[in-house]
Structure 1
Amino acid sequence: MVEPGTIQAAQSGDREALITLLREIETHVYRTAYYILNNEQDAMDAAQEALIRIYTKINSYEEKAQFKTWVQRIVTNICIDKFRRTKPTVSIDEHELVFREKQDVEDQVMASYTYQDIRHAIDQLPEHHRTVVVLRYLQDFSYNEIADSLDLPLNTVKSYLFRARQQLQALLHEYQKGGVRG
């Protein structure tokens, strides 16, 4: 991800290093914000706020934690604060899935419905469960990285993921039975 030398240079006041650092993480920051908030405008606002906070707090970063978990903690906390300030609404993601040319139209339609249903189910999870699901399965964080990012005990992260998977199974039960979207 980010070179340690770039981080140290940014902390030393090297403006170019700081700009490079922010450019390297901006997509990751936005993606996390979008998956947590499920709203493009809110995600853009949260990502911008997170990048500004990283810019102003870069000197508070200590190398005892991984840089990506430090960044993740900042963006996640901003998203959680934003989520708490606004009443959550469930919406379907308007972004289209990228399909391979060889898939037929029916497969594309079913894949799109499946994606929308999974996204809809994730949106229905409580905020803390949704956050760990996003970090684990969409951002590919390890359990330890999630615990560090959210400042939670490792067993709490495992418990949240276990409960979130149970809730997702219940919400998506018709897929388990081989049913179709109604």
Structure 2
Amino acid sequence: MDAIVNKRIKQVLNGNQDAYAEIVDLYQSRLYHVCYRMLGNKHEAEDITQEAFLRAYINLHTFDQKRKFSTWIFRIATNLCIDRIRKKKPDYHLDAQVPGTDGLDMYSQIAASEELPVEQLEKMEIQERLQYEISRLPDKYRSVIVLKYMEELPLQEISEILDLPLGTVKTRIHRGREALRKQMSQLPMTEVGGK
């Protein structure tokens, strides 16, 4: 895939703007998911994804084609997400509703399968709760947790995306997991799948 992307980058740099649309198509979904998992908000994730591609396009002439484009675009998006998180004041209140729990809308997301709707709903609630708990992590832990466990990127690539030493990435993953485990252990058993 890197060879295809590098070929498209050369085409863009030579004036073929349509070639950039192909690059966007290749990475758009994964990039959006990273942004969504970091921000926990669909509209913000869409905005950041679009902004990341725009910034990459504007700065494409600075991209080192000996490196992976995916690492570069993920770094841009992750930095934009971190900036957005830092600018926002936490808006968590005791009476705030957990994202994804606005009534019957959840039923429309249940896919047909062998599982009972109640089991699917429980899984969705756990996933929503996990997403919520990830969104409560400090941004330095949130970014490594999302890239490692949601995107399943190798540690070295995470190190390059975040521009951090490998040892720091490992430490943040460990501390982020511990913080997430602590947050999740404070939930009543019925909220994490127990009866």
Q: TM-score, normalised by structure 1?
A: 0.88
Highest relative contact order (Cα 8 Å, sep 6+), 1 or 2?
Answer: 2
- Which whole-Å CA distance do the structure 1 matches of 2:178 and 2:147 have between them? 17
Question: Does the 8 A contact of 1:34 with 1:43 survive in 2?
Answer: yes
> What letter corresponds to residue 151 of structure 2 in structure 1?
Q
Q: Quick check: 109-118 or 119-128, which moved more?
A: 109-118
CA drift at 1:7: 2.2
1:14 matched to 2:21: no
- Which whole-Å CA distance do the structure 2 matches of 1:100 and 1:160 have between them? 38
CA drift at 1:100: 4.8
Paired residue for 1:180? 190
Q: Quick check: 75-84 or 21-30, which moved more?
A: 21-30
TM-superposition CA deviations, 1:104-151 (whole Å, max 9, x none)? 133112212211221121111100100111111111111000000000
Paired residue for 2:131? 119
Question: Does the 8 A contact of 2:36 with 2:45 survive in 1?
Answer: yes
Q: Quick check: 115-124 or 83-92, which moved more?
A: 83-92
1:58 matched to 2:63: no
Q: Quick check: 4-13 or 73-82, which moved more?
A: 4-13
Q: For 1:73, which of 68, 72, 75 is the aligned residue?
A: 75
Change (3 A) 1:80 1:174: closer
Superposition misfits of 4+ residues, deviation over 6 angstroms: none
- Which whole-Å CA distance do the structure 2 matches of 1:57 and 1:68 have between them? 15
Q: TM-score, normalised by structure 2?
A: 0.83
TM-superposition CA deviations, 1:76-121 (whole Å, max 9, x none)? 1111111111113354246856545110133112212211221121
Paired residue for 2:169? 157
Question: Does the 8 A contact of 2:147 with 2:158 survive in 1?
Answer: yes
Specify the SS of the correspondent of 2:191. coil
Query: RMSD over aligned Cα, in angstroms?
Result: 2.2
Count of matched residue positions in the alignment of Structure 1 and Structure 2? 180
